[in-house]
């Protein structure tokens, strides 16, 4: 085995093996342990998934959900960052805004679905509102925590090197906080998946949650499982993509280092 | 008499009165012997989380001359770092005055660069050379010029080949070298060094001391060097201020180290100074340990 092959194996081999074992165990459990149509085996689910993909139904639902997540996630992150920075930098701002963040973050986005639907209807607006809602507080809290976690010596060094307050913010506080912001965004992404499914379950015309709900309504158990597997794989892929993006575009700010 | 005074003398001599005389005396005193830094009866009180006041230093007075390497030596917890923080401008004294060039210190300034004990002060998202040119970049020195100067100072501290590496990729000793290059590149009036080598292994520390000594020989920047290590103080310092055990610490005495150039730890003269400092600090260490045990 060449060095690169070994490296690829060490990185992806574990993942591949993990997924294979997951599906094998699932298969064994479905066929030999349960043996009911209510718990289809992975072969049945993948065959159904293939059919839904070929007819375009799966893509329709998938892209609907993904677009909502992306729009809400980006808006929530972009709003959350400056608020978090301000809260972390200025104590009066923190005192002023903490009641909001500490009050609202304990009201789960799932509980806000009803309000969102009443306010914005069952269209896109209510979904994007919910994703923003579920994203923004995590990003705010992580960003603010990042600002307060900056080592005092970093600020002091900048002061005694002649940096102004604005320069310290721009060239020290901001870059030092980036790993925390990215971590907050990663957590928010996971939350977005939970929220979008719940929202689509209750009120939507399309999306993976709608696929799930229709499956229940018409007793299409295979469809339910296609939706579940798609959600799992999609979440996994998006998280990897996010980590890869951090690695490529913000390597030196990576939370890992 | 400095060069300034004879001129003043001829200008003023035709109308000398007692007033002028006094003025002249003042000028003469200032230009001849005004220290670069002067601590005057400085006191610093901290309040603990339990609301108890703790006087770190009290009646702390010492002068540091321009161009000298001054070591401040003391047992742990005696307030050495407090003294440095106040001179750096990070903390204000509770009472007394700290003067630099005759003006009170009111906050951090690029005149007084600080080398910190740990590597927290380095910017992990910048390469070694970008860290070194940070101060120059803040002052908007042109890119080519600041890069050239930063590389020169990296070279001076022996990091020529490491310019493009990030701090996380470098050893503890190398990180301290970046800090030293970073402050030198900014051309401050004075260096404040807070036990910069305390976290390094013995071999690296000895090497860094040697290199710092030779850099100082070349640059002659005024240095205030904080340490608890007698060996380090005698190796580096021109003058060593020994502090009492806290609380309410001040300088117990100042020892002139009349050693020039390379200082060998096995020389009789080196040992003589070592013993002298040791005798002065021994009781203070015992006091600090005893106090910690009782507290």
The answer to whether B113 contacts chain A (CB < 8 Å) is yes
User: Nearest CA to CA, how far is A252 from chain B (Å)?
Assistant: 5
How open is the CA angle B156-B161-B165, to the nearest 5 degrees? 110
Q: Are B43 and B73 in contact (CB under 8 A)?
A: no
B123 in A contact zone (CB under 8 Å): yes
Cα dihedral A161/A164/A167/A172 (nearest 10): 50
Identify the H or E element spanning B230: helix B230-236
Together in a domain, A18 and A113: no
Q: What is the rounded CA–CA span in Å between residue B245 and residue B25?
A: 38
ipTM of the complex: 0.82
**Cβ neighbourhood burial of B186 (10 Å; 0-12, 13-18, 19+):** buried
Cα–Cα dist A156/A214, whole Å: 60
Q: How many CB pairs lie under 8 A apart between chains A and B?
A: 72
Q: Is the pLDDT confidence value at A155 over 70?
A: yes
Q: Which CATH architecture describes the domain B36-111+189-295? A: 3-Layer(aba) Sandwich (3.40)
Among A154, A162, A255, most B C-beta atoms within 10 A, so best to mutate, is A162
Q: How far is A179 from chain B (nearest CA, A)?
A: 10
Dist. CA A130–CA A196, nearest whole Å: 8
B125·A178 Cβ contact <8 A: yes
Same domain for A78 and A32, yes or no, is: no
Domains of chain B, residue spans: 36-111+189-295, 122-187
Q: Which residue has the tokens 């003023």?
A: B12
Q: Which residues of A touch B (CB under 8 A)?
A: 151-154, 156-164, 167, 171-172, 175-176, 178, 252-253, 257
Judging contacts by C-beta atoms under 8 Å, the chain B residues touching residue A167 are: 138
pLDDT tens-place values along chain B, 295 residues long:
344 444 444 344 444 444 555 554 555 444 456 899 999 999 999 988 888 888 899 999 999 999 999 999 988 888 899 999 999 999 999 999 999 999 999 999 999 999 999 889 999 999 999 999 999 999 999 999 999 999 999 998 989 999 999 999 999 999 999 999 999 999 999 999 999 998 888 888 888 898 899 889 888 899 999 999 999 999 999 999 999 887 888 888 888 887 766 678 888 888 889 998 898 888 888 887 887 777 6
Helix A42-55 × helix A57-89 angle, to 10°:
90
**Alpha-carbon Rg for chain A in angstroms:** 22
The DSSP-derived string for chain A is --HHHHHHIIIIIHHHHHHHHHHHHHHHIIIIII--TTS--HHHHHHHHHHHHHHTHHHHHHHHHHHHHHHHHHHHHHHHHHHHHHHHH-HHHHHHHHHHHHHHTTS-GGGGHHHHHHHHTTSHHHHHHHHHHHHHHHHHHHHHHHHHTS-HHHHHHHHHTT--HHHHIIIIIHHHHHHHHHHHHHHHHHHHHHHHHHHHHHS-SSSHHHHHHHHHHTT-HHHHHHHHHHHHHHHHHHHHHHHHHHHHHSGGG-TT-
HSE value, Cβ hemisphere, 13 Å, CA-based, for B241: 24
A154 → closest Cβ in B89, B123, B139: B123
Whether A134 and A34 map to the same domain: the answer is no
* A252 closest CB neighbour out of B120, B134, B166: B166
Which residue range forms the structural domain that includes residue A19? 1-39
In a shared domain, residues A129 and A245: yes
pLDDT digits (tens, 9 = 90+) for A164-202: 999 999 999 999 998 899 889 999 998 998 899 988 988
Nearest-by-CA chain A residue for B190: A160
Min distance A161 CA to chain B CA atoms (Å): 5
A26 and A51 co-located in one domain:
no
Query: Chain A within 8 Å of B168 (Cβ-Cβ)?
Result: yes
Other C-beta atoms closer than 10 Å to the C-beta of B13 total 10
**Strand-pair partners of B194:** B226
Residue of B nearest to A174 (CA): B125
Do A15 and A32 fall within a single domain? yes
* The pLDDT of residue B32: 52
- DSSP assignment letter at B133: T
Q: How far is B45 from chain A (nearest CA, A)?
A: 20
Q: What is the pLDDT of residue A244?
A: 83
Contact B125 A252 (CB under 8 A): yes
| Two tokens, residue A248 | 């490529």
In this predicted structure, what is the pLDDT of residue B294? 73
Contact residues on chain A for B137, CB-CB shorter than 8 A: 171
The reply to whether A158 and A84 lie within a common domain is: yes
Instruction: Judge if pTM exceeds 0.90.
Output: no
A100-153 pLDDT, tens digit per residue, is 998 998 899 989 998 999 999 888 899 999 999 999 999 999 999 999 999 999
B125 touches chain A (CB under 8 A): yes
Pick among B108, B109, B118, B149 to test the A interface (most A CBs inside 10 A): B108
In terms of Cα–Cα distance, which of A51, A50, A29, A53 is closest to A41?
A29
Distance CA B271, CA B263 (A): 10
| Residue given tokens 């005893």 in the structure block | B290
- From the list B121, B139, B192, the residue facing A162 with the nearest CB is B139
User: Which residues in chain B have Cβ-Cβ distances shorter than 8 Å to A171?
Assistant: 134, 137-138
pLDDT tens by residue, A28-87: 999 999 888 889 999 999 999 999 999 999 999 999 999 999 999 999 999 999 999 999
The answer to whether residues A119 and A185 belong to one domain is: yes
- A14 & A70 share domain: no
Q: Is A93 exposed, middle or buried (0-12, 13-18, 19+ CB in 10 A)?
A: middle
Q: How many domains, in total, are found in chain A?
A: 2
Best of A154, A158, A160 to mutate (most B CBs within 10 Å, chain B): A160
CB atoms within 10 A of CB A41: 19
Name the closest residue on chain B to residue A154, using Cα atoms: B121
Q: Which of A161, A175, A257 sits opposite B138 (nearest CB)?
A: A161
Interchain proximity A253–B108, CB inside 8 Å = no
Chain A residue with the nearest C-alpha to that of B136: A161
Helix (H, G, I), strand (E, B) or coil at B58: strand
Residue B99 has phi, psi (to 5 degrees) of -110, 140
Min Cα separation A156/chain B (Å): 7
Please tell me whether residues A91 and A77 are part of one structural domain. yes
Same domain, A117 and A16: no
Q: Are residues A178 and A247 in the same domain?
A: yes
Residues of B in contact with A163 (CB under 8 A): 134-135, 138
Contact call for A154 and B139, based on CB within 8 A:
no
């Amino acid at each position: 085995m060449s060095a690169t092959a070994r490296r690829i194996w060490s990185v992806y081999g574990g993942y591949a093996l993990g997924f294979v074992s997951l599906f094998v165990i699932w298969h064994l459990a479905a066929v030999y342990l349960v043996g009911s149509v209510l718990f289809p085996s992975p072969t049945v689910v993948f065959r159904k998934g293939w059919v839904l993909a070929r007819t375009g139904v799966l893509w329709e639902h998938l892209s609907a959900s993904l677009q909502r997540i992306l729009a809400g996630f980006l808006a929530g992150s972009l709003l959350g960052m400056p608020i978090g920075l301000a809260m972390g930098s200025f104590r009066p701002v923190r005192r002023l805004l903490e009641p909001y963040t500490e009050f609202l973050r304990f009201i789960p986005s799932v509980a806000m679905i009803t309000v969102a639907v009443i306010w914005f209807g069952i269209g896109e607006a209510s979904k994007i509102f919910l994703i923003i809602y579920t994203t923004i507080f995590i990003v705010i809290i992580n960003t603010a925590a990042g600002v307060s976690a900056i080592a005092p010596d970093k600020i002091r060094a900048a002061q005694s090197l002649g940096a102004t307050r604005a320069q310290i913010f721009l060239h020290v506080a901001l870059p030092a906080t980036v790993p925390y912001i990215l971590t907050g965004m990663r957590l928010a992404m996971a939350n977005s998946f939970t929220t979008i499914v719940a929202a689509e379950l209750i009120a939507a015309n399309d999306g993976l949650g709608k696929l799930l709900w229709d499956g229940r309504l018409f007793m299409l158990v295979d469809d339910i499982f296609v939706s579940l597997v798609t959600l799992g794989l999609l979440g996994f892929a998006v998280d990897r993509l996010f980590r890869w993006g951090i690695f490529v575009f913000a390597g030196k700010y990576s939370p890992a280092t | 008499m400095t060069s300034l005074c004879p001129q003043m003398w001829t200008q003023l001599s035709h109308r000398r009165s007692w007033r002028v005389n006094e003025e002249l005396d003042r000028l003469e005193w200032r230009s001849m012997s005004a220290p670069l830094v002067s601590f005057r009866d400085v006191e610093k009180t901290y309040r603990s989380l339990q609301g108890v006041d703790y006087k770190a230093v009290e009646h702390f007075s010492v002068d540091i001359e321009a161009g000298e390497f001054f070591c401040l030596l003391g047992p742990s917890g005696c307030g050495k770092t407090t003294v440095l923080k106040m001179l750096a401008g990070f903390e204000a004294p509770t009472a007394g005055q700290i003067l630099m060039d005759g003006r009170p210190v009111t906050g951090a300034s690029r005149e007084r660069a600080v080398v910190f004990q740990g590597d927290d002060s380095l910017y992990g998202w910048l390469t070694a050379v970008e860290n070194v040119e940070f101060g120059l970049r803040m002052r908007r020195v042109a890119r080519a010029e600041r890069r050239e100067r930063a590389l020169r100072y990296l070279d001076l501290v022996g990091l020529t080949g490491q310019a493009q590496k990030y701090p996380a990729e470098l050893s503890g000793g190398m990180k301290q070298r970046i800090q030293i290059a970073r402050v030198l590149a900014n051309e401050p009036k004075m260096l404040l060094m807070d036990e910069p080598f305390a976290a390094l292994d013995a071999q690296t520390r000895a090497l860094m001391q040697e290199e710092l000594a030779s850099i100082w020989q070349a640059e002659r920047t005024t240095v205030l060097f904080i340490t608890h290590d007698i060996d380090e103080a005698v190796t580096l310092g021109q003058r060593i201020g020994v502090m009492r055990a806290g609380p309410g610490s001040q300088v117990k005495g100042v020892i002139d180290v009349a050693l020039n150039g390379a200082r060998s730890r096995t020389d009789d003269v080196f040992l003589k100074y070592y013993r002298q400092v040791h005798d002065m600090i021994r009781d203070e260490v015992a006091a600090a340990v005893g106090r910690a045990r009782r507290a």
